[in-house]
Structure formats: C-alpha cells, structure tokens
Amino acid sequence: MSEITVAIRYAKAIIDLAVEQNSLEEINNDMEFFVRTIKANPQLNAVLANPIIYHDKKIKILEQIFGGKVNKLTIDFFKIMVNKSRAEILYVAAQEFLNQYDDKKNIIKATVVSAAPLSEENKNTIIAELKETTGGTIKLTAKVDADLIGGFVLTVGDKQIDTSVANNLAKLKKEFAQSVA
C-alpha cells in the first residue's frame, strides 16, 4: 500500500475521532501547528523517518515539542503512528488531515499569481467572485511573479485561468509560427 493511501486512512480516522469527540477545530489547529513546525524544522521530519531511532525516543521528542501545546488526542495520534512504524508519514498524514478538514468544511484553496502585488480590494473581489461561484469559503494565497509582465494566473483546484500578458504573447508566438509554416 502506498504511503499516501496509508496517510489518507490515518487522517480520516483522526478526523472521525475528532468529530466524535467534538474537538475538530482544536485538532485542526494542532495539525496546522505540526505542519508549520515540520516545515520550519525539516530535521524533525528526518528524525521521524529514521528507522534507526527507536520508537520511544521519537515519542519523547514529539512529547517534548508538542506536549502541553496540543490536544491529548493529537499526542495519542502521534504515539499510535510512531508505534505502528508510521512515523515517516506523520507529516503527510497531517497534511492530508488538513485537506480532508478543508473538504469537510467546504474551504476552497485558491492561488493568484500576478505581475505586481494585488491590493486588498482586488483580493477581496477575487474572493467574492470565487465564493459566489463555488459557494465555499475561500483561502486565497497571493504571489508575485514579474515574469507575467501583466495580468494574473488564478488556480482553484485543478482549474486555471491565465490572463497574463506572458501567456498571451506565447499564444501569439505559437499562432505566428503555425501560420508561417
């Protein structure tokens, strides 16, 4: 079984348990904290993935870092994953938890890349349009890429709207190349 399939199953189990125990929001915050911590300290993920380090040592490390800062259910989840020799996919399981949480709460992630920073008004307009179209809550990430020259590229799930000048120039170049040939 692939690691992602296993991570999805563990994530679903912890979501179901969190819902049952009325602590979904708290566990979501814990998983966000865990993912941020791993991103900031990739050596922690390396320790968790290292098969030479004993389970007890990994659990102690996780308890020292997260004990008292996260829900007991989250610590228990970490312990189960480590004891089942799944510590190497703990990060992936946490990310999958966040994805499943977003699906459950109808939270849609969108990314907009523009040639210049967007104003708050522009961001709010994009969020309002997406909310109206999808009916969900929008988490918008804005990035800047000067290579776009102008316009923007909006990505929502597997859909992309590209209104960038760079894309239009590439299309024109392709059309000219085809008409010449």
Among 100, 105, 117, 109, smallest CA distance to 140 is for 109
CA distance 11 to 30: 13
The proportion of the chain whose per-residue pLDDT surpasses 90, expressed as a percent, equals 72
Contacts of 5 (CB under 8 A, 6+ apart): none
CA 123 vs CA 137, 138, 150: distances in Å: 14, 11, 16
Partners of 139 in beta bridges: 109
Q: How confident is the model at residue 148 (pLDDT cuts 50, 70, 90)?
A: confident
Q: Cβ(96)–Cβ(8) under 8 Å?
A: yes
Q: Model confidence over 122-138: pLDDT tens digits?
A: 999 999 998 998 889 99
Q: Is pLDDT above 90 for 64? A: yes
Q: What is the CATH number of domain 3-103?
A: 1.10.520.20
Residues 17-38, mean pLDDT to the nearest whole number? 97
Coil, strand or helix at 150: coil
Q: Is pLDDT above 90 for 168? A: no
Task: State residue 1's pLDDT score.
Answer: 64
Q: Measured at the alpha carbon of residue 47, what is the angle toward residues 45 and 49, in degrees to the nearest 5?
A: 70
